[in-house]
Amino acid sequence: MSEAVFVGLPRRLVKLTIDGREFEVAEGSTILDACRRMQIDTPTLCQLDNLTPVNVCRVCVVEVEGSRVLVPACSRKVEAGMKVQTDSDRVRHSRRLVLELLASSVDMSLCSPQVHAWMGRYGATPSRFGDQVATAAQPVKIDNDLYVRDYSRCILCYKCVEACGVDAQNTFAIGVVGRGFDAHISTEFDTPLPDSACVYCGNCIGVCPTGALMFKSEHEMRAAGTWDESRQKVTETVCPYCGVGCMLELHVQDNSIVKVTSPLDHSVTSGHLCVKGRFGFEFVQRREAKR
């Protein structure tokens, strides 16, 4: 007879009100979890299901009755009797300002269409701060053959630092450096990646929401004007290298692999890969004639 397996204590249901509708979710859920269950589209930038919430972007803020300030939906746990508003004037104002402030300081053009839709929904007009404002504009860092870092697109969501650290890779090659508006992501003393602790797992690329971190292949194709997602096919396969069984999504354009990802909700990878799965695809497409 097999032994009993502990499946954890049963989770109680907590009743709360969101936008006037009563709803029940399991205790320990966040307000964001509840909003998603209720099909309330909530903007997020620094939140990702496979990372610990850092609640720094503040675009998911909601109004909770009794709270002096707005609270981040991504990390605030639900409480019984909580009354939440996700579309009040205060909420809309803060979400709009967060998007405006970000877009006025960094290049958000490569963010997902969803982010652009949020900008439209909240009426974000980044240009209203004027054209003489400070930005994060700087040259792209290209110091290795696998990926590039374009920090003029970085919104400082901390995701890459988390993925490089305890949330996935435990390599700690990068950190948040400096303070205030000058804060940025960097290796120690801005060392080029080949001299840093980086192991090229590319998990930072996998979590980056703005295209600041990008496969070099994608970067070069974009520069040449040949990158065209409408002509790309995504093929699912299993990584051929070791026995772990990581699922790969091969993004193929013109019969060449241009990018490799893994689904966030995959039970083996949680979206994370190693250098071989992420970048070790060249052997598939070596086309020069055998000697």
Q: Which residues here bind other proteins, judged by CB under 8 A? A: 55-59, 61, 69-70, 72, 75-76, 90, 93-94, 97-98, 101-102, 104-105, 128-130, 132-134, 155-156, 172-183, 186-189, 191, 195-197
In the bound complex, what is the minimum distance in angstroms from residue 93's beta carbon to other proteins?
A: 6
Tally of helices (H runs) and strands (E runs) in the chain: 7, 12
Give 134 or 244: the residue with its C-beta nearer to other proteins. 134
In the bound complex, what is the minimum distance in angstroms from residue 38's beta carbon to other proteins?
A: 22
Give 47 or 269: the residue with its C-beta nearer to other proteins. 47
Contact by Cβ (8 Å): 189, 123: no
Cβ atoms within 10 Å, residue 208:
22
In the bound complex, what is the minimum distance in angstroms from residue 182's beta carbon to other proteins?
A: 7
Give 50 or 105: the residue with its C-beta nearer to other proteins. 105
In the bound complex, what is the minimum distance in angstroms from residue 103's beta carbon to other proteins?
A: 10
Give 155 or 221: the residue with its C-beta nearer to other proteins. 155
Contact by Cβ (8 Å): 22, 132: no
d(CA 207, CA 205): 6
From residue 169, alpha-carbon distances to 210, 216, 263, 284 in Å are 21, 21, 17, 26
Give 56 or 140: the residue with its C-beta nearer to other proteins. 56
Beta strands 13-18; 83-85: pairing state: parallel
In the bound complex, what is the minimum distance in angstroms from residue 270's beta carbon to other proteins?
A: 22
Q: Which of 167, 208, 201 is nearest to 185 (CA)?
A: 208
Contact by Cβ (8 Å): 278, 200: yes
Cβ atoms within 10 Å, residue 60:
29
Give 94 or 203: the residue with its C-beta nearer to other proteins. 94
In the bound complex, what is the minimum distance in angstroms from residue 274's beta carbon to other proteins?
A: 17
